[in-house]
Structure formats: C-alpha cells, structure tokens
C-alpha cells in the first residue's frame, strides 16, 4: 500500500481540500498522512481516514520528514504559499530536501499535484512498490 502525505499552508488549505475531494477515489486505497489542521479539514469533507500529525509549525512537517527519511513515504503533496513568509521556513526547506535526497515525488502546487495523482491513478508508482520490497528498514 502506498503512503501519501498532505500538507498545506493556511491560505492553500481550501485548495488542497478541494483537490482531495476531486481525487478521493484515487486516495481511498492509500495510507494517508497529514499535518494536523490540514488532515482534519480533509476528513471533515471526505470519507478518507488520515493519520494526523502535529500542526506544521509545531513539528508536523518534521514528523512527516521522519517518515521520508525512513523511506516510509511514497508521495508528498505540499501546497505551499509562495507569497507569504512562513515562520517555520527551515522546516519546510528540510522537508523538501529530504524528498530530493530520498527520491520522493513532491508536488508543491495543484498543477504538479494533478500530474502526480493522475500517474498514481494509472499505476505509474509501481517503481515505489519495488523500492518498498528492497528498502532497508530502520529498527523501530
């Protein structure tokens, strides 16, 4: 089962909720994660169950980053607000860096999210399942 994370800055939360509503059928059989408020808003508007971490500024970004570092995440949809300074910008940069280091696809806007989710729907993430079979596990 593929793992997908949702994160959205305050002014992008409604856009992410609407995006997830549109693709609820694609996410229905995935294991879903999110930062706190974003996950709550998605669950209020859909039938999806989401494991919610802390709010982003309180460490939720870092909790998702931990899963990425352990190769436990397959896709991150992180709708960023490029026009608003974020007080936890170093955490955001670290999360995006982890995605790059570990080869995790990440969408930072709806256009890239659309492409990745359509690929997910077509089954183009089969390569992640191969990674899953051969990845080293961190002792928990």
**Active-site residue, selected from the candidate residues 10, 61, 74, 124:** 61
What is the pairing mode between strands 75-79 and 106-107? parallel
CA-CA distance, 77 to 7, in Å (whole number)? 6
- The question of whether 74 is a catalytic residue gets the answer no
C-alpha distances (whole Å) from 47 to each of 17, 34, 50, 65 are: 12, 15, 10, 25
Residues contacting 28, CB < 8 A, separation 6+: 47, 48
**Which residues are designated catalytic?**
61
């Amino acid at each position: 089962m593929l793992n997908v994370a949702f994160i959205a800055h305050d002014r992008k939360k409604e856009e992410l909720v609407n995006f997830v509503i549109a693709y609820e059928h694609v996410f229905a059989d995935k294991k879903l994660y999110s930062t706190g408020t974003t996950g709550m808003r998605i669950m209020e508007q859909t039938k999806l169950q989401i494991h919610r971490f802390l709010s982003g500024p309180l460490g939720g970004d870092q909790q998702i980053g931990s899963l990425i570092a352990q190769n436990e995440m397959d896709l991150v949809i992180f709708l960023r607000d490029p026009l608003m300074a974020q007080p936890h910008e170093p955490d955001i940069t670290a999360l995006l860096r982890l995605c790059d280091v570990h080869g995790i696809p990440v969408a930072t806007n709806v256009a890239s999210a659309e492409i990745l989710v359509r690929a997910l729907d077509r089954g183009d993430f089969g390569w992640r399942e191969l990674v899953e079979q051969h990845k080293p596990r961190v002792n928990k």
